[in-house]
Amino acid sequence: MSFTHVVLLGAFVSAGVGIVVLAILRVVTGRRTGPFEVLAAVAVSGAVALVQFLMVEEGFSKLHVAYLWLFVTLPVIGATVLLASVVPTLRPRRWGAVGACGLLALAAVGVYASYVEPRWLRTDRVTLDVAAIEGGEPIRIGVLSDLQTEDIGSYEEDAIDRLVAAEPDLILVAGDYFQSDGPDFEAALPELRALLGRLEAPGGVFMTEGDVDSPERMAYMTDGLDNLRWLDEEVATTEVRGQTVHIGGISVRYRAAAAQAAIAELTRRSGGDDLRILLSHRPDAAFHVEEGDVDLVVAGHTHGGQVQLPFIGPPIKLSNVSRTVAAGGLHEIDGVPIYLSTGVGLERATAPQVRFLTRPSIGLVTLT
């Protein structure tokens, strides 16, 4: 039984305990279910979920338990209260029914966050004025990040199709390609190589390593594919519409000496009108460049938070960048322009695989 099945079973156990509380209160008090009884069922089910929360150790696992309590356990309790109304003697009181409807409504949010928004891919189009190409032709950079799949399917194919159809001059891929264990990666490798092999642009396709990747996996994915260039703590130079573009690609170990050396080399490569772009999976690399050192940092990693709250932004960002930056899009960090992709895929393993107010995206950054 997978972890997801275990925590889902736990969510139903929590709901069952809450329903038992409703039944006990009905027998003891003799009253029809009201707001107090509903609240008591919620509280007791929450206590059971809290025990499960404390039993798991990994942070994403805890989030999964909390998510299922909110969007499975509570709707089941609400549905039970409302279904009981078919028996006249069990019909809830007005405010009890209102509370039950509120709990049941959470199911709609859960369905949307689990099954609708994670596959509602968009194209994020932004424009950045760059002094190096003032008066020259605009350069369109396609950005792909956090494919982070465990199975190559129509959704992943569509993401590649959309990016290629946008006809970018240059494509940058900011890491996190396949999130699963070794045997699964080996089985999916031919399909993954075929998928990435379809990426093409006149100025080239440049990739860097993400958190779920490794140097070995990067080599397997790119070996023999002439259209892909894996930047392993190094700087590559290409030409786009007559413009020289230097791209520094670093791994997630952005503080390491090799990554810092690549950043230093990139900042030295200035021919006056040359473009300098830093490609990093983690946006925190932007803290290691000064204003004027590079024209643009391209990153991923945060997935836009995967979940954003109104007026707050992403409560979880796994980065030292601000919530505004972590939410994705084009921003500045200490005067350094950064484009942070919300990513195509999701955090897998034990994490709840959801998105809310943070649609997945491919990026199209136009430099003018």
What are the tokens at 296?
């643009």
CA distance 129 to 133: 8
Q: Beta strand 329-333 with 336-340: parallel, antiparallel or unpaired?
A: antiparallel
Q: Give yes or no: residues 110 and 178 share one domain.
A: no
Quick one: 126 and 191 in the same domain?
yes
Query: In the chain, what is the straight-line distance between the N-terminal and C-terminal CA atoms, in Å?
Result: 53
**Could you tell me the two tokens for 27?**
């027998």
**Is the same domain home to 104 and 243?**
no
**CA nearest to 318, candidates 262, 252, 249, 232:** 252
Tokens at 138, concatenated: 């605009």
C-alpha closest to that of 220 among 257, 188, 251: 188
Question: What does the pLDDT read at residue 181?
Answer: 83
pLDDT of residue 89: 86
Say if residue 224 is in the same domain as residue 288.
Answer: yes
pLDDT at res. 2 = 82
Question: Is the domain of 84 the same as that of 106?
Answer: yes
Q: Report how far apart, in Å, the C-alpha atoms of 313 and of each of 8, 68, 127 are.
A: 27, 21, 23
Give the domain extent around 89.
3-117
Q: Which pLDDT belongs to residue 271?
A: 67
The pLDDT averaged over each successive group of 10 residues in the chain (368 residues) is 89 97 94 96 98 93 97 98 91 95 97 98 97 88 97 96 97 96 92 97 98 96 95 97 96 96 92 90 97 96 97 95 98 97 95 96 97
pLDDT of residue 3: 87
Indicate whether 132 and 98 sit together in one domain: no
- pTM, 2 dp: 0.94
Any idea which residue has 């972590």 for tokens? 326
Pair (113, 130) in one structural domain: no
- What is the count of structural domains for the chain? 2
Say yes or no: 45 and 66 in one domain: yes
Cα dihedral 96, 97, 103, 109 sign: negative
